[in-house]
Amino acid sequence: MNRFYLLLVAVALIGGGVLWFGSRRQPAPPATAPIPIAAADGFHGFTLGSDSAKVEVTEYSDFECPFCASFATVQMPVIRQQLITTGKVRWRYRDFPLPVHQYSRYAALAAQCAGEQGKFWEMHDQLFSNHQWAQTGKNPASLFRDFARTIGLDIDKYDACVDGQRYAGRIQASVQEGEALGVRGTPSFFVGGQLFQGRATSDDFKALFDSLSKTRK
């Protein structure tokens, strides 16, 4: 019997030690190094919807921004269903990671790397639908890899892309273009090239698009 209790103590010590040691191994921190100045690769954001849509909306957004998450999860599904899939509107997503957010640039990088494999919008949805990561303050690198696996990315390619900051220049270019257009916060919208000043709700967008569509007929 005494051997049994010794075994219990050994399991507790070894198991506790393994878990403690394992928890101390952290992944490489998200990119905080200076970002290279705009790489002009001619990229102007991922789009949703028909190229023949009469109206285009450009959204400047930040994956860590709670208002952007709220818009993406509450308003955007309605906009997709009523305006984008019906061919009325084409939607363009531009990155505008705010400097106050610790991981938003890293999230933008993860989304760009998903986009490289044709799954930008799937990663976009993961980042906004599971937005708890933005409130915990924890390094989200491992969670983003989970998202990448969930949406079926080739994880080796994803890792290489993120670790190499392959699209950091593209993200910075998007920020610079947004600043030049007058973007000051997120989410900001441009409808037909004009800054949208209304409320970011699907109803307001629908009313605006309806009026624009009529005037353009």
Binding-site ranges for another protein (CB under 8 A):
1, 4, 7-8, 11-12, 15-16, 19, 22-23, 25-27, 130, 132-133, 136, 138-139, 142-143, 146-147, 149-150
- Round to whole Å and give the CA distance between 121 and 185: 22
Taking the complex as a whole, the smallest distance from the CB of residue 134 to another protein amounts, in Å, to 11
Of residues 39 and 143, the one with the C-beta less far from another protein = 143
Give me the least distance between CB of 46 and another protein, in Å please. 23
Compute the least distance from the CB of residue 26 to another protein, in Å.
6
Short-list 191, 186, 190, 178, CA closest to 88: 191
**Closest CB to another protein among 15 and 164?**
15
- Separation CA 110–CA 161 (nearest Å): 8
Q: Which is nearer to another protein, 7 or 195 (by Cβ)? A: 7
Identify which of residues 27 and 87 has a Cβ nearer to another protein in the complex.
27
The residue assigned the tokens 């270019």 is 173
Beta strands, E only, 37-117: 46-48, 55-61, 89-95
* Strand, helix or coil for residue 106: helix
Query: What single-letter DSSP state applies at residue 89?
Result: E
Q: How far is the CB of 11 from another protein (least distance, A)?
A: 5
Residue corresponding to tokens 């390619």: 157
Max intra-chain CA distance, the chain: 89
* Min CB(114)–another protein separation in Å: 15
Nearest CB to another protein, comparing residues 7 and 37: 7
User: Got the DSSP string for 188-201?
Assistant: EEEETTEEP-S--S
